[in-house]
Amino acid sequence: MNDDQLLRYSRHILLDEIGIEGQEKLLAAHAVIVGAGGLGSPAALYLAAAGVGRITLIDNDDVDLTNLQRQILHDSASVGRPKVESGRARLAQINPGVQVDVINERVDEARLASLIADATVVLDGCDNFSTRHAVNRACVAARVPLVAGAALRFDGQISVFDVRDPNSPCYECLFPADEPFPEQACASMGVLAPLVGIIGSMQAAEAIKLIVGIGQSLAGRLLILDATKMSWHTMRCAPNPECRVCGARH
């Protein structure tokens, strides 16, 4: 690290658990963020500020006026622009030393596999089950840890799915693709603006822990937040040995 980096990241370096060695791991890391909306916004901002060396933003939507209530990566001047382009410009303002690659398309599974192949960690902030399952399958195949978050109305959840850990389930273990989960979107149901900030910031924290190799991740635990009471519930999650995606490892 040069002198500017030592100063910029000094508050991380002061932490014994991170230090210079951990910060260098962050600088060498590649984080893939699927979704540049409510969850991806705070996650991307904190990862860029923390010095994650390369960030890939994946999203095929344009910024809409209704997004600005919660998607803090974008501003009024961004309305009508692709979210990934708006996001890249904002992250460059936060930390010009971070390489930001953008994918302005709805990626299929083969494309995801190529994008995730060299990732250190993947963060899922998308808003539909089909993409979530595609991301999970790509992460399992590449053996890359996945930090998944969701938020709707006043309810949020977050977990880590890390197939490198034999005690960790994958996303399919908890939410099988063939079960009829209702597709609910904040466009029709609404969402509390700070809720996505809480969950997205926690996704960034889990990603940083995974990159540096500190603490205990949320693998094997699903945290559920009821923001009306600001109460958390922890659900213990075990891998499913008959899972169609990750069961072969058992």
pLDDT tens figures, 33-70: 999 999 999 999 999 999 999 999 999 999 999 999 99
Measured from the Cβ of residue 109, the count of other Cβ atoms closer than 10 Å reads 14
pLDDT tens digits for 151-206? Answer: 999 999 999 999 999 999 999 999 998 876 665 555 668 899 999 999 999 999 99
Q: At residue 13, does pLDDT exceed 80?
A: yes
> pTM score, two decimals?
0.94
pLDDT tens digits for 86-145? Answer: 999 999 999 999 999 999 999 988 999 999 999 999 999 998 888 999 999 999 999 999
Kind of pairing between the strands at 231-236 and 221-226 = antiparallel
- CATH number, domain containing residue 101: 3.40.50.720
The parent domain of residue 161 ranges over 3-249
- As for how many domains the chain has, the answer is 1
The confidence score (pLDDT) of residue 185 equals 59
Report the alpha-carbon distance of residue 110 to residue 197 in Å, rounded.
30
- List, as one string, the DSSP characters of 171-226: HHHHS-TTS------HHHH-B-HHHHHHHHHHHHHHHHHHHHT-S--SBTEEEEEE
